[in-house]
Copies of this chain bind each other. A is one copy, B any other.
């Protein structure tokens, strides 16, 4: 299984890292030894709104060969929904089975057309922004519709990560990973 974590300027790092931490333990704790991932972006250096920068590992790479894309949220999503270059790049993931988002990342999944006829969620302040992109906006913390999995605001990233751990490796693996993180959520 091969995951593309999608990075962009104006990202909320906890949206990314909250999912990345439990999912990466699927590999380091030997539940899914063949799991791999890339940090994919349209540019090499990606910053949050406060100046903390990370490196992408793949730049402008076509996303079609991944099994999963994970799209975090952040203030940057507001302008990216209208950024043709970014959305066209994201659309290269159209055949990717699992499309996952945290927080306002669902606006980007929506702008790429991936939420048509789907029930999805987002940050609790942006339900109205998500409406035009999907069939129904849910207020659940995590909602799975087919293989589209969207989650709510920032801290739900950790719950989403554990949700995917259970989905891909079973409940016992998820519980061990949750324990190793000492997560009480």
Contact = CB atoms under 8 A, between A and B. Distances in A.
Contacts of A159: 184
B13 A21 contact: yes
Contacts of A146: none
Is the interface on chain A under 10, 10 to 19, 20 to 34, or 35 or more residues? 35 or more
A154 B21 contact: yes
A182 B158 contact: no
Give the most central of A54, A141, A152, A158: most B CB within 10 Å: A158
Nearest to A49: B28
A155 B154 contact: no
Contact of A181 (B20, B154, B183): B154
What is the total number of copies of this protein in its complex? 2
A21 B12 contact: yes
A54 B57 contact: no
Contacts of A156: 182
A14 interface: yes
A165 interface: no
A39 interface: yes
Nearest to A53: B55
A88 B95 CA distance: 52
Q: Which of A17, A153, A183 has the most CB of B within 10 A?
A: A17
Contact of A185 (B13, B21, B24, B185): B185
Interface string A7-49: 0000011100110110010011000000000010000010001
Nearest to A154: B181
Given A13-B17, A14-B17, 13 more contacts: A12-B21, A14-B18, A14-B181, A17-B18, A18-B18, A28-B49, A52-B54, A52-B55, A153-B180, A154-B181, A155-B181, A156-B182, A159-B184
